[in-house]
A and B are shown apart, each in its own frame.
Chain A
Amino acid sequence: MLIHIEDVYKIYNEGKESEVRALNGVSLDIDQGEFVSIIGQSGSGKSTLMNILGCLDIPTYGDYRLDGTEITECTDRQLAHIRNRRIGFIFQGYNLIPVLDARENVELPLIYQGMGAELRRARTEEALARVGMLERQHHRPGEMSGGQQQRVAIARAIATHPSILMADEPTGALDSKTGLHVLELLHSLHRDGATVILITHDNSIAATADRIIRLADGEVVANGRREEVFA
C-alpha cells in the first residue's frame, strides 16, 4: 500500500467554541499506480486532506503511512525531504516562482535535492520535454499562458520522479479546452506508471479517474469506482 491513512482528524481551535473539524475521522488507502479523484463541495475538507496527504500539514489525530514511513512521527526536515523526493505538487494557481524562468522553476526541487549539474540538466530537460515545454524553457511565468504555466508546473512536479503526483484543482484556472489538455497530460503520466491523486469539485473531471472518493463535512461519504460513486 502506497498511502494508508486511518482515522485522521484535523481539528482547528480544538475545545473552543470556534472549533472546526476539517477532517473528522477519515480512513483510506491508495495503491501504487492508481488514479484517484477526491471530490467534494468547498468546505468538505478535501483541501485539508490534500495538505495532509502531501505532507504539507500533519493531522491532529490519526495515522498516516506513506510508502512505509510513519508521517506523523516525522520531523520538519524529514517532511521537507519527503515532499521533495516522493511527492510532486500541481496547484490550481500553478505556483511558479515569477522571477525564475520555466527551466529554473523545474530545476528548483532538484537543486534542493543537491543534485549535480549534469544530472539536473538531463532531468530538467526530460521533464520539460515530457510536457512539451522544452522550447519555451527560458520564458518566465508572466510570459506564458495559463495552460503553459500549468504544464511547466507539472514538469516541476515530475522532474524528481516522485511516487505520487498530487494535483489540487489543476484545471480550475483554465478554460475547458486547455483544462482538458492538462487532464490528458495527467492521464498520460498515469499510463506511464505515475500514481495520481486529483482533487476537484468538478464531477466531470473527477469521473475520468479509476476511483473516486467523495468527502462531505470532513468525512468520506463515498469511495469506489465511478459507476458506484455517481450511481
Chain B
Amino acid sequence: MKIGQAVKMAFKSLTTKKARSFLTMLGIVIGLAAVIALVTYAQGQNLAIKALYDSQGDNVLGVSAYSWGAGGSNSAAQQLYDYCLGLDDVVGVTPNGYVYDDLTISYGAKTLSRGGPGMGMAGMDAGAGGSNEDHYPSIRLGNDKFGLCSDYKLARGREFNYLEVQNMSQVCVLGADTAEFLFSFADPIDKTININGLPFRVVGVYQSKAAGVKVGTSEDAQGVIDSLKYMDKLLLLPSSMTRYFNNNEPIQEYLVKVRSASAVNEVITELNGFLAGAIPEDSGFYSVDSPSRYSQDLDKADALQQRFLGIIAAISLVVAGIGIMNIMLVTVTERTREIGIRKAIGAERRSIIVQFLIEAVMICGIGGLLGIAVGYVATAILTKASFGVVIMPGMGITVGAFFLSVALGVIFGLYPAIKASTLQPVEALRAE
C-alpha cells in the first residue's frame, strides 16, 4: 500500500470522529502552545536583563586600586594606568570617578541641583521646572577614552582630548538626558554651562542608552529601562578635575577596555599579577571585576532556565502522548472488525501498522500545527503585555515543536498500531 493512500484513509478516519480527534489533539495543542509561549517569554525577559549588562559594554573590566602605603593611592593608580597602556590587548583605560559633592549646574534659566526646592523660576513649564532633581546627573570623571570604556557613543561633538584632561580644562561632555534638560532642542556644542559658578564648555553629547533598547513595561523590564535612563543622566568632567571635588580624594577606580572577549581572562590575570606587586598586603587592596562575566553567568542561568522549561515541556507532552496512546488503543478496539476485514482482503501487518501510525502522527501533526498557532498568539499577547513589544518565537523552537509533535505520534502510536496488526483475522471478523 502506498503512503498517499494511507494518508487519505487516515484522514478519513479522523474526520469521521471529529470531536474525538479534536479532543485528542487538545493535549498536544495546549502542551506545545504553553512551551512555545513560556520559552519565548523567558527569552524576552532574559534579553531585557542582558541589555542592562551589555549596556556597560563588552569586554570592560572595572579595576579598583586602594593604597595607603608609601606613595599613596595616587601613585598606585597612576602606575596601574601606565601599566594598562602598555598591554597589547588593552584598547583604552579611563579613570572612573564620581563626584559626590552637591553641585549646581545651570544653563540660562535651567538649573540642576540636588535637594533644592526646585528652581522656582516663573514661566517655566511645570514638567521641566518642577522635577530638576529628577534630572540631576551622575557627575563622573574620566578621560578621552571614557566613551570607549563605558560604551557611550557620541551623538554630537567629540570626547575630551588628551591635553584637556592633562590641563584641567573646563570642558564637559553631557549625557543625553542632561543635554535635553539643559538645552531642550538647541545644539549644546560649544555652549558654556555653569558648574558652581565656574564656566564649562560643552564639547560633546552622548547618545541615549535607553532609547535603543526596547524591553517594554513589565516590572523587571521597566527596572532595566530605568537603569538605562539613569545612565543618560551624565555630566562628564576631565578626570584631572578630581582635585576640586570630593575633598581632593584621588580616583581609585578605572575602566579597562579589552580588545576581545578571548583576551579578557588573560588581561584579568595580568592586572591581578601587577596589582599584587604594586600594592603589597597591608598597604591597600585591589579588585578586578568583569561585567561581561556577569553576562556570561546570566547566559548560564539562562541555559538552566531553558532546561527547566524543557523538562516541564517534556512532562506535559508525555502526558499528552499517553492520552494519544490511550485513544489509539480505544480506536483499535472499536475498529477490530475493520481490521479483520482489511486483513481478510489482503492487508499485510505492515499496512495495518502504517495505517494506525499515520493516524496517530496525523493527530499529533495537526495538533502540533494548531499548538504552534496558539503558541504564537499566546506569545504575542504575553510579550506585548509584559514587555510592550511583540516578541515572536524563533524558527528553531517552531520547527522543533512541530517535529517533536510528529515524533510523539510515532512513539505513542506505535504500540496501538502493532497491537492492531497482530489481531487474528478470524477473531477480528467475529468482533461486533
Using a Cβ–Cβ cut-off of 8 Å, how many residues does chain B contribute to the interface with A? 24
Map CB proximity to A onto B5-32 as digits: 1 under 8 Å, 0 otherwise: 1000100110010000000000000000
Pairwise interchain contact A156-B2, C-beta atoms closer than 8 A: no
Pairwise interchain contact A114-B338, C-beta atoms closer than 8 A: no
Given the complex, which residues of B lie within 8 Å of A54, measured CB to CB? 344
Query: Is the CB of A170 closer than 8 A to any CB of chain B?
Result: no
Q: Which residue of A lies closest to B424 (CB)?
A: A57
Given the complex, which residues of B lie within 8 Å of A160, measured CB to CB? 346
Query: Is the CB of B341 closer than 8 A to any CB of chain A?
Result: yes
Given the complex, which residues of A lie within 8 Å of B122, measured CB to CB? none
- Other A-B contacts than A83-B344, A97-B341, 16 sampled, CB-CB below 8 A, are A51-B426, A56-B426, A56-B429, A81-B348, A83-B346, A84-B346, A84-B347, A89-B344, A95-B340, A95-B429, A96-B341, A108-B342, A111-B5, A112-B342, A112-B347, A160-B346
Query: Is the CB of B343 closer than 8 A to any CB of chain A?
Result: yes
- Known pairs A80-B348, A83-B344, A109-B345; A57 contacts B426 (CB<8 A): yes
Map CB proximity to A onto B389-432 as digits: 1 under 8 Å, 0 otherwise: 00000000000000000000000000000000000111001000
Query: Is the CB of A77 closer than 8 A to any CB of chain B?
Result: yes
Given the complex, which residues of B lie within 8 Å of A80, measured CB to CB? 343, 346-349
Map CB proximity to B onto A87-124 as digits: 1 under 8 Å, 0 otherwise: 00101000111011000000011011110000000000
Q: Which residue of A lies closest to B422 (CB)?
A: A76
Query: Is the CB of A214 closer than 8 A to any CB of chain B?
Result: no
Pairwise interchain contact B16-A99, C-beta atoms closer than 8 A: yes
Query: Is the CB of B240 closer than 8 A to any CB of chain A?
Result: no
CB < 8 Å: which of A51, A76, A112 contacts B351?
A112
Chain A residues engaging chain B, CB cutoff 8 angstroms: 51, 54, 56-57, 76-77, 80-81, 83-85, 89, 91, 95-97, 99-100, 108-109, 111-114, 156, 160
Given the complex, which residues of A lie within 8 Å of B347, measured CB to CB? 80, 84, 112
Q: Which residue of A lies closest to B421 (CB)?
A: A76
Given the complex, which residues of A lie within 8 Å of B346, measured CB to CB? 80-81, 83-85, 109, 112-113, 160
Which residues of B, 330-362, contact A by the 8 Å Cβ criterion? 337-338, 340-349, 351
The docked-state distance in angstroms from the alpha carbon of A22 to that of B217 is: 80
Pairwise interchain contact B425-A56, C-beta atoms closer than 8 A: yes
Pairwise interchain contact B345-A156, C-beta atoms closer than 8 A: yes
Query: Is the CB of B1 closer than 8 A to any CB of chain A?
Result: yes
Given the complex, which residues of A lie within 8 Å of B348, measured CB to CB? 76-77, 80-81, 112
The 8 closest A-B pairs by CB, nearest first: A84-B346, A109-B345, A80-B348, A112-B346, A56-B425, A95-B341, A83-B346, A99-B16
The docked-state distance in angstroms from the alpha carbon of A77 to that of B5 is: 20
Q: Which residue of A lies closest to B15 (CB)?
A: A99
Given the complex, which residues of B lie within 8 Å of A83, measured CB to CB? 343-346
Pairwise interchain contact B429-A91, C-beta atoms closer than 8 A: yes
- Closest chain A CB from B317 CB (angstroms): 29
- Closest chain B CB from A39 CB (angstroms): 21
The docked-state distance in angstroms from the alpha carbon of A160 to that of B338 is: 19
The docked-state distance in angstroms from the alpha carbon of A160 to that of B345 is: 10
